[in-house]
Amino acid sequence: MKRVLVVRNDKIGDFMLAWPAFAMLKASTGCHVTALVPHYTQALAKLCPNIDEVIIDPGKDAASPEQKNLMNIIKAGHFDAVICLFSNFRNAKLMWQAGIKQRWAPATKLAQFFYNHKVKQRRSQSAKPEYEYNSDLVRAFLAHNQFAVIEPSAPYLHFEADELTTFKATQALQLGIAADRPWLLVHAGSGGSANNLSVVQYAQLTRSLQTQHPQLQVVLTAGPGEQALAQQVIDLMGKGAVLAHDLSLPDFCRLLACGSLFIAGSTGPLHIAGALDVPTVGFFPLRRSATPLRWRPLNSEGRHLAFHPPANAEAEDMSQVDIPEVVAAVTPWAAAFWS
């Protein structure tokens, strides 16, 4: 087994939760690992230490010549196996047409008939974190091919200390804040994924934490199209916060690595922070497919707190999250991270 293709061509958060699977595959086999990803996760894939090569998926709506070119690239890869962590009909048919001998995927949907190695997972039950479902698929592949499993551990994304020191100093100068004080990073955008807190709730939470810990430097982060939302939080706070935006994806990762604590809803940036093992506070609805358990970030034990609406509220009514209760829980827990 020399060359393995891993498919995770969906959203940023989903891709980040595949990093333990990539780490396990690389450490256990030493093989050449190629990732098939969409263009918007390409920069992240290139940061992953356990991915040797990246193939860009132009997407299902791309023109016929682009689809044919993707097929040619996959065939030219001469892969011994493919592991589809994200399986749909298009992915399944593509791998079958490419003639890859071992084709692994969860045993769900009609697409499973294109694979010759399937693992029953029942992901719809959300009985475990998404990253565990990904890793279980790799474990099955390793067992079938008689590889000893080497279990990975956090952090899955890492920057050298000297690099971060220089980056943080530059960002501090641009943002007008102190580099030697703890940074509380808050991401109010959702990227169209799970329901999130309102700007009023984020402002109340951030203002309360800063009042109790005046040494905190509050930085609102914003992805494409989220700048106005982040600015609303800053305006509601009244003072004491700055906005970081228009960063490249690799620099956004570096910014998160500079944080003492990261707060966000269940969205891609939360999972990037988790991969860095930056302490995280996440807000999740109670819908079964979107629970705190299913979308738990990659933090090591004790470095993540999750909050959701109370059991007697509507599953996705994030307005029912009690911010004073959140502050009371976060304050003693996070004190060790920003002391």
Q: What is the mean pLDDT of residues 250-279?
A: 97
% of the chain with per-residue pLDDT over 90: 87
Write the DSSP symbol of residue 147.
P
Look at residue 308 in the predicted model and tell me its pLDDT: 94
Tokens of 255: 């910014």
Q: How much is the pTM? A: 0.96
Domain residue spans of the chain: 3-144, 161-334
Q: What pLDDT does residue 194 have?
A: 67
> Which alpha helices (H) appear in the chain, and where do they start and end?
12-16, 19-29, 42-47, 64-76, 89-97, 130-144, 161-175, 199-212, 227-237, 249-257, 268-276, 323-334
Per the CATH hierarchy, to which homologous superfamily does domain 161-334 belong? Glycogen Phosphorylase B; (3.40.50.2000)
Q: Is the separation of the CB atoms in 17 and 298 below 8 Å?
A: yes
**266-275 pLDDT, tens per residue?**
999 999 999 9
Residue 193: the pLDDT is 63
Query: Looking at per-residue confidence, does 127 or 50 come out higher?
Result: 50
Domain 3-144 has CATH 3.40.50.2000: yes
Average pLDDT over residues 227-254: 95
- Give the pLDDT of residue 195: 85
The side-by-side arrangement of strands in the sheet containing 261-265 is: 241-244, 217-221, 183-187, 261-265, 280-283, 304-307
Please tell me if the domain spanning 3-144 has the same topology as the one spanning 161-334: yes
Determine the average pLDDT of the residues in 295-304: 97
Residue 145 phi/psi, 5° resolution? -95, 15
- Are 285 and 316 in contact by the 8 Å Cβ rule? The answer is yes
pLDDT in tens, 149-193: 999 999 999 999 999 999 999 999 999 999 999 999 999 998 766
Residue 332 has pLDDT above 80, yes or no: yes
Give the pLDDT of residue 126: 86
| 21 within 8 A of 131, measured Cβ to Cβ | yes
8 A C-beta contact, residue 54 and residue 9: no
Q: Of 258, 196, 201, 194, give the one whose Cα is nearest residue 13.
A: 194
Rounded Cα distance, 239 and 57, in Å = 43
